[in-house]
Amino acid sequence: MAVMIRQKTIIKETATRGLGLHSGRDINVKLKPAPANRGIAFKRSDRPGSPALPAKSGNVTSTTLATTLGRGDNSVSTVEHLMATLLALGVDNLLVEVDGPELPVFDGSAVEWVRLLSEAGLVEQNAPRGHYRVTRPYQVASGDKSISVRPASRFSVEAHIDFGGAIGRHCFYYVESEPAFIREISRSRTFCQLKDVEMMHRQGLALGGSLANAVVVGDDGILNPEGLRYNDEFVRHKILDFIGDLAMAGVPVIGQFVLHKPGHELNRRFLIEALAQPGLLEMTRPGAEKGQSVHRPTYDQPSDDLPTDARSLLPRLTLTLEEALPSIGL
Ligand SMILES: [Zn+2]
């Protein structure tokens, strides 16, 4: 009998701040626990009365340089690195309050989100987590770019990029697990070419962009004095972005993915088209009917009065984070 996997949220509210890549502004973010079955949603705290934006593929309105949820005044951009971290660490329900039009970029990677979620701690909720099972092979392509998926019992991503020049050609294979995400994927940074930075600045974009929050590649190589974190950092970051964009399905999509030259727009198109294919993605809730076989303390409505040792409810996550964090220098 399948064991029920429970939904999770964070144990306590937590906050951070940082520079917005495109606005160049200082942005404040609060992560708040949310009830089971609520999902991930973003709310603009600087626009009282604006409805919360559920992190779902139908709400993705722009994929220029980053992934944006919502439209016009009520939108939040650059959500993909947080979304990837939430999916990888198994956070199903969360309210993200942000006082500007984008999330902070931090160092261009997902490390700060991993740190913040580990500080908040995670707690299981009294509801089963569903996921989409891929029932048959499927592919979306555009020129020499493509995303394909096959049925599999675990989520994995094999990605290939070929930029030529100083970025070059790389591939990487990721098989989902919390430690693998933290060690292999979360530290990889956004990258861009110097000529694109100059063009974006002329358009008033990427005003906060600097060598502190992206790998910048010139004609003769990498401009960042510290160099790369991995020699294949670029392709690892493409996997980070893909996981974040795929998280817009609302639940994990379990399958074996192969990406060729992926980007936010192809990621978005893949998900929307896959969701529209009859019978391709089958929603399952393992053990939902007979989930009582596993008994653990759970909280329907996480709040500040959770016991201080609530973190001990999650030995697996706590252990893997403690194991993994020293290795990435946090
Ligand atoms: Zn990215």
CA distances from 142 to 62, 190, 265 (A): 18, 23, 10
Q: Where are the domains of the chain?
A: 6-327
Phi, psi for residue 206 in degrees, rounded to 5: 55, 40
Q: pLDDT-based confidence at 2, cuts 50/70/90?
A: low
In 3-state terms, what secondary structure has residue 10? strand
Question: What's residue 26's pLDDT?
Answer: 95
234, 163 in Cβ contact below 8 A?
Answer: yes
| pLDDT tens string 54-76 | 999 999 998 877 899 998 889 99
List the catalytic residue out of 131, 237, 260, 264. 264
Annotation marks residue 131 as catalytic: no
**How many A from CA of 236 to the centre of ligand 1?**
10
Q: Could you write out the DSSP letters of every residue in 203-236?
A: TT--TT--TTTSEEEETTEE--TT--SSTTHHHH
Ion ligand 1 nearby residues (CB, 5 A): 190, 241
Q: Is the dihedral of CA 110, 112, 116, 119 positive or negative?
A: positive
pLDDT tens-place string over residues 127-178? 999 999 999 999 999 999 999 999 999 999 999 999 888 899 999 999 999 9
Ligand 1 midpoint to CA 280 (Å): 27
> How many angstroms separate the alpha carbon of residue 307 from the centre of ligand 1?
36
What is d(CA 242, CA 35) in angstroms, rounded to the nearest whole number?
Answer: 26
Query: Measured in angstroms, how far is the CA atom of residue 80 from the centroid of ligand 1?
Result: 7
Indicate if the pLDDT at residue 304 is higher than 60: no
Q: Specify the CATH number for 6-327; select among 3.90.470.10, 3.30.1490.20, 3.40.50.2300, 3.30.1700.10.
A: 3.30.1700.10
Mean pLDDT of all residues belonging to the chain:
87
Enter the pTM of the model. 0.87
